[in-house]
Amino acid sequence: MKSLKENFQKAHIVIIGSGIIGKFNALELSELGFQITIIDPNQLQNSSNAALGLLMGNMYQKRRGRSWDLRKQSIELWPQWISFLQKFNYELNIEKPLIQLTTNEEKFKKLEKFIYENDDQNLRILEENSIFINNINKAFQTNNIKGIISFKDGRINAVSLLKTLDKYLKHKNVNFLQGEIIKIRKSNNQWISTTRNHENIKSDIVILCNSLKAVDLIDSLSHNVKLKPVLGQAMEIFINDAQVDLLSLPKQFSINGKNIIPKSKNKLIIGSTDEYSTMPEESIFEKLTNFLDKRPSWLIKGIISKKWYGIRSRPDGEASPIMKNLENGLIICTGFYKNGILLAPACSKWVANEIKNYLY
Ligand X SMILES: Cc1cc2nc3c(=O)[nH]c(=O)nc-3n(C[C@H](O)[C@H](O)[C@H](O)COP(=O)(O)OP(=O)(O)OC[C@H]3O[C@@H](n4cnc5c(N)ncnc54)[C@H](O)[C@@H]3O)c2cc1C
**Of residues 13, 14, 15, 17, which one binds ligand X by CB under 6 A?**
17
The contacts of residue 259 (CB under 8 Å, 6+ apart) are 52, 54, 252, 253, 269, 270, 271, 272
Q: Are strands 258-264 and 253-255 parallel, antiparallel or unpaired?
A: antiparallel
Binding window for ligand X (CB under 6 A); candidates: 105-113, 205-213, 295-303, 347-355? 205-213
Q: Count the Cβ atoms, other than its own, within 10 Å of residue 290.
A: 13
If binding is defined by CB under 6 A, does position 336 make contact with ligand X?
A: yes
Say whether residue 53 binds ligand X (CB under 6 A).
yes
> Should residue 342 be labelled a site residue for ligand X when binding is judged by CB under 6 A?
yes
Q: Reduce the DSSP state of residue 267 to 3 states and report it.
A: strand
Q: How far is the CB of 69 from ligand X (least distance, A)?
A: 16
Does 154 interact with ligand X (rule: CB under 6 A)? no
- The answer for 256, left when phi > 0, alpha when psi is -120 to 50, beta otherwise, is left
Question: Which one of the spans 44-52, 61-69, 241-249, 276-284 is the region binding ligand X (CB under 6 A)?
Answer: 44-52
334: Cα separation from own chain's centroid = 11
**Which string of DSSP letters, residue by residue, matches 299-315?**
HHT-EEEEEEEEEEEEE
Q: Is 223 in the site for ligand X (CB under 6 A)?
A: no
Q: Are 126 and 148 in contact (CB under 8 A)?
A: yes
Nearest distance, CB of residue 61 and ligand X, angstroms: 17
Q: How far apart are CA 330 and CA 203, in angstroms?
A: 10
In this chain, which of 14, 26, 29, 50 binds ligand X, going by CB under 6 A?
A: 50
Q: Which of 14, 15, 21, 269 binds ligand X (CB under 6 A)?
A: 21
Q: Does 340 bind ligand X (CB under 6 A)?
A: yes
* Bridge partners (DSSP) listed for residue 16: 39, 208
Size of the site for ligand X (CB under 6 A): 39
Give the binding range for ligand X (CB under 6 A) out of 2-10, 27-35, 137-145, 203-211: 203-211
Buried b (16+ CB within 10 A) or exposed e, 139-155: bbebeebbbbbbebbbb
- Does 244 contact ligand X by CB under 6 A? no
How many angstroms separate the first and last alpha carbons of the chain? Answer: 17
Q: In this chain, which of 48, 164, 203, 266 binds ligand X, going by CB under 6 A?
A: 48
Stretch that binds ligand X, among 63-71, 77-85, 86-94, 339-347 (CB under 6 A): 339-347
Contact stretch for ligand X (CB under 6 A) within 70-78, 91-99, 286-294, 336-344? 336-344
**Contact mark string toward ligand X, 271..300, x via CB under 6 A:** xx----------------------------
Binding site for ligand X (CB under 6 A): 16-22, 39-43, 46-48, 50-54, 180-181, 209-211, 213, 232, 234, 271-272, 310, 312, 334, 336, 338-342
